[in-house]
Amino acid sequence: MADASFDVVSKVDKQEVANALTQAQKEISQRYDFKGVGASLEFSGEKVLMKANSAERCLAVLDVFQTKLVKRGVSLKSLDTGDGTPKLSGKEYRLEGSLKEGLSQENAKKIAKLIRDEFPKTVKAQIQADELRVSSKNKDDLQAVIAMLKGADLDVALQFTNYR
């Protein structure tokens, strides 16, 4: 019998991010506490730029955006805002965030080591570009690996695809 397998990936649904961004922009334009503070939220390619005339307002814009992302099912682990403190640029504060996509080699190695430590004999993990293929003869072991990875405290959003 052939090995059963699945892929561990870290992907972001760009359409859901765009929808969350649109909702956040609409809320920012309508909320009373954002009137006259120059608060805005822009998206260009992979970067999200939050602007306001004070650091607190800039962080409030980030909070609105994060709330919309969570409501749309996008993990906050996929949004990287660096150290999270707004930088002063002229008269306004700016906070730039980027979307993290794909497993880095470092994170893939961490996940593979976790799998090897938990299931030393029965499950194999192979790094393939920006994803990790996990295979085993026993499907129950694969289910246990998925459960273990969901419970693990990793700094990357994981999805499980190609389960066969």
pTM here?
0.83
Which pLDDT band holds residue 155 (cuts at 50, 70, 90)?
confident
pLDDT tens digits along 55-67: 999 999 999 999 9
pLDDT tens digits along 81-128: 888 889 988 889 999 999 888 888 888 899 999 988 888 788 888 888
- Per the DSSP assignment, residues forming a β-bridge with 22 are none
Provide the 3-class DSSP secondary structure of residue 31.
coil
Residue 1 has pLDDT above 60, yes or no: no
Please count the other Cβ atoms lying within 10 Å of the Cβ belonging to residue 110. Answer: 16
H or E stretch at 91: none
Give the chain's radius of gyration (CA, Å). Answer: 20
CA triplet 50, 85, 106: central angle to 5 degrees?
95
- DSSP letter at 32 equals G
Mean pLDDT, range 137-160, rounded to an integer: 87
Domains of the chain (ranges plus CATH)? 4-10+103-161 (3.30.70.860), 14-99 (3.30.70.990)
The most distant pair of C-alpha atoms in the chain lies apart, rounded to whole Å, by 67
CA distance 71 to 117: 35
CA distance 30 to 89: 25
Provide the 3-class DSSP secondary structure of residue 100.
coil
H or E stretch at 21: helix 14-30
Write out 121-135 in H/E/C secondary structure: CCEEEEEECCEEEEE
Q: Tokens standing for 109?
A: 């190695």
